[in-house]
Amino acid sequence: MLNQKHSFAFEVLRYGLIVLVVSFFFFPIFWMLLTSFKPETAIMVSPPQFLFTPTLENYRHALVDKNFLFYIKNTLIISIISTAIVVAIGSLAAYSFARFNVGDGHILFFLLSTKMMPAIAVILPYFLIFRDVGKTTVGATLHLGLDQHGALIVSYVMFNLPFAIWLLVSFFQDIPRELEHSARLDGLSRLQVLRKVTFPLAAPSIAVTAVFTLIFCWNEFLFAYILTRKMASTVTVGVESFFTLQGILWGPVAAAATISVAPMLLFVLAMQRYMVRGLTFGAVRG
């Protein structure tokens, strides 16, 4: 049905529409990319300039003058560790919900409902908690204080867990139990079953969960802005140092934004082959 042959005119229309759709979604990024190579005098001019002498000055400003890689480094550390923790404890919990139905849906509901909390409402309590935790020895060792990586990691874990568990529960339900049973009969312990049978089978789904968690951590602003000052600031906060008293430095902002999108793009492309399989959230059942 959906794949049947259509008339030539129909196909022309389809590809015309696809080109239109892709240009709509790609154009703002393209314009950002273009701006990142524009000299200062070609940015705030009317009418907008399409032809100009490209320059790397904006990248130099972002990378050398503003040391933007420092923020990229922080963001990498925080996002990757948060994602790893979310995926690890999220998978365990999701597996438990999927297989054992712990709490008969009530605990799951509780976990999911924490996603409803507006971040802005809890940001000050978080600030106070991390201020005090950071002063304790444990907190200091784990870098849980304000302007330290640990504080943001914990916050991101908290705010991404519900989403991750949500996705993963249905994934795990798609894995036939019989495989686990036979592995058990072969003498593997529960944890061995998880490690050797269940998780490898769930890899595409876990990859999808990781991609989304990483994207959300990478792009988060509010927590990063309140809980860090300088040493642990992420890219979204780092961009603020381009908002100067002389106005927004559009060229360097474009360069910095391009630089900070790049790792995400590479990551998504690397995960691409898992994405298609994993993206259905297991919710379509054949």
Binding residues among 140-199 for other proteins as defined by CB under 8 A: 146-147, 154-155, 157-158, 161-163, 165-166, 169-170, 173, 177, 181, 184-185, 189-190
Query: Under a CB-based contact definition with an 8 Å cutoff, are residues 59 and 36 in contact?
Result: yes
Instruction: Tell me the three-class secondary structure of 125-182, residue by residue.
Output: HHHHHHHHHCCCHHHHHCCCCCCCHHHHHHHHHHHHHHHHHHHHHHHHHHCCHHHHHH
Nearer to other proteins, 203 or 266 (CB): 266
Number of residues engaging other proteins in binding (CB under 8 A)? 140
Minimum CB distance to other proteins, residue 5 (Å): 10
**Strand partners for 243:** 248
Looking up tokens 């040391």 gives 67
Among 1, 9, 51, 138, binds other proteins (CB under 8 A): 1
Q: Does 32 bind other proteins (CB under 8 A)?
A: yes
Query: DSSP alpha helices (H): ranges in the chain?
Result: 8-36, 57-60, 68-100, 106-113, 119-133, 137-141, 149-174, 177-185, 190-193, 199-201, 203-219, 222-227, 235-238, 250-278
49 CB-contact burial (10 Å; exposed 0-12 / middle 13-18 / buried 19+): middle
Among 12, 17, 56, 203, binds other proteins (CB under 8 A): 17
Site string for other proteins, 89-128 (x = CB under 8 A): xx-xx-xxxxxxxx-xx-xxxxxxxxxxxxxxxxxxxxxx
Using CB under 8 A as the binding rule, the residues of this chain from 223 to 282 that contact other proteins are: 225-226, 229-230, 235-236, 239-248, 250, 253-254, 256-257, 260-261, 263-270, 272, 275-281
Among 54, 56, 73, 196, binds other proteins (CB under 8 A): 73
Query: Under a CB-based contact definition with an 8 Å cutoff, are residues 235 and 256 in contact?
Result: yes
Minimum CB distance to other proteins, residue 137 (Å): 18
Nearer to other proteins, 55 or 81 (CB): 81
Minimum CB distance to other proteins, residue 142 (Å): 14
Nearer to other proteins, 201 or 215 (CB): 215
